[in-house]
Amino acid sequence: MKLRIEVVAIDCLMLRLFDDIAEANMPWMLAATERVRSVFAGQLIDVVPSYTTLMVHYDGLELSPVQARELIAHALSDLQPDTRRQGQCHVVPVWYDLSVGPELALLAQRTGWSHNEVIRCHSEHEYQVFALGFAPGFAFMGLVDEALAAPRLSTPRKRVAAGSVGIAERQTAAYPAQSPGGWNLIGRTPSALFDREREGYSLMQPGDRVQFAPISHAEFINLGGDDTPQEALA
């Protein structure tokens, strides 16, 4: 872990802890997040973990930039990840089908696999939640098998259905609400990924783990899924 501190705003610092995205980073990121929360206490407004960084937003009326840096140095001194602490593990049901996942055919063509082989490869891995962003409840997860890595669409869709599961490079995610998007869609989940009544709002949080579970169309409908074809939303 190599710490570099960058100024984001007069009361906000970005801590760069790693250079490369890796699943092994997350225990360190979570440990650093908790230590920062503890050390800053009531003088902390927010701390936001991501792939390789922590954004620390502190109360500029209570702390000077120099004092904030001193607290950060104290928080990260002798830092060790707690290997016993893990985030929640979520099993997310997915109906993989061309009508809701049109790029399923594209990935099959790129890999030379059948649709079922693509589905099996995507669903057999347990993914790490790296960060939340883009939209409330949108969890960036990885890393997908290199064979499934695919660039974002050259022209993003104007509307992507809520629950759509997609791949971009070596990341995977599910859209919590209908929105524009350029990820390669391969299926759809009926799970509520964002709920204002839920503590923390988002189903997933950084450090959580996610396993996608293939389900049938009938199961998808029974779980409340909307099977409107993606093409009908274009």
Q: What is the pLDDT of residues 194-226, one digit of tens each?
A: 988 777 789 998 889 999 999 999 999 999 999
Residues 6+ apart with CB under 8 A from 92: 174, 189, 191, 210, 211, 212, 213
Tell me what the mean pLDDT of segment 124-140 comes to.
91
In the DSSP assignment, the letter for residue 112 is T
The CATH architecture that domain 89-233 belongs to is: Beta Barrel (2.40)
At 80, is the pLDDT very low, low, confident or very high (cuts 50, 70, 90)?
confident
Rounded to the nearest angstrom, the gap between the alpha carbon of residue 211 and the centroid of all alpha carbons in its chain is 13
CA distance 120 to 169: 18
CA angle 1, 139, 78 (to 5 degrees): 20
What is 4-76's CATH number?
Answer: 3.30.1360.40
- pLDDT of residue 138 exceeding 80, the answer is yes
Sheet holding 12-16, edge to edge: 4-9, 12-16, 53-58, 44-49
The winner for highest mean pLDDT among 18-27, 81-90, 138-147 is 138-147
- pLDDT of residue 82 exceeding 80, the answer is no
What does the buried/exposed string (b/e) look like for 50-77 if buried means 16 or more CB atoms within 10 Å of the residue's CB?
A: bbbbbbbbbeeeebeeeebeebbeebbe
* Residue recorded with tokens 């883009």: 134
- Domain residue spans in the chain? 4-76, 89-233
